[in-house]
Chain A
């Protein structure tokens, strides 16, 4: 029975399934009030813990999850889960108060000023003591990893970046290094910096709320929880030798062969559809992909302003804020789009100009 269950989990942990499931469940859950109550939180906590405990009996699961350097990722899963729950619970509680015409929970206490000594100073002190104890215990219980001496001649398989960059390394499956390693990370930083200047919504400043800032919260959480944290989990727990996918209970077999026949958009169009062979001049060859990207980044944003939903934002934010914001948004969405194109059509590149290393 357990074996069949493991097979099922293995099957559905494949990124094309687990990513879809994570996205759908995540967005749906944000709008489903009953998860964000004490009972909902407890059920989720017990469920996840039970899953971890039972799974630890599986040798392959244990091998990956119990690696000393992977412990922080298990921690991250718990912490992110807990704080998503906490913030959404507080947000929904406040939304209810606002709907009833009452002040938010924070508002009831905001004008109440209390002395830093002793309240703040002492709670800080207690936090420091607790943290110190936790760190000492953690350090005694778990030895920091130290492998064989560095040897540039023997590359481990898989070679992985530090765990917090594994989301970026996972992006390498879908993008070339210049995108996954340089351009997209830079745009994440730029995008984060731009948030306060793009977001013109004056509500929700200094208190938890969901109703008053739905789009902002869904977008940010989608980026943080799904695209960042989920990809780290995939990159850590489900990528084995040769960066092949391995189910959570699958043995990391170095000889696993994954047939990869990835096809460029230009090959689809010129060879499969038109049957004429690839044009020799790169501009002609890649014209379909270039046009598609122009359509995506130039025509689509302008077109969106005609839609009622986006028009409201356009009017509120003004043209420059709107186009910067939508540009960053579309860049972010390039990742899931490319993922699905890969899974559905084995698409390798939309634009493949090997002459200049310019591949998207």
Chain B
């Protein structure tokens, strides 16, 4: 079954890629982005950073998906 594991099992040599999924969790460190500056298109940093982080998180998840999908 190992060839079907699509990264679901951590011991197949591709498990390390899953660690990338911890990156979105950096949003837990709130003081980093609880700021006004830099302002972007009128958005305070607090707002545009969190919105931008959605895309970072999507790209990482998509990357991990393609890296672990069985060929």
Decide whether A and B assemble into one complex.
no
B residues apposed to A, CB below 8 Å: none
Binding site for B on A (CB under 8 A): none
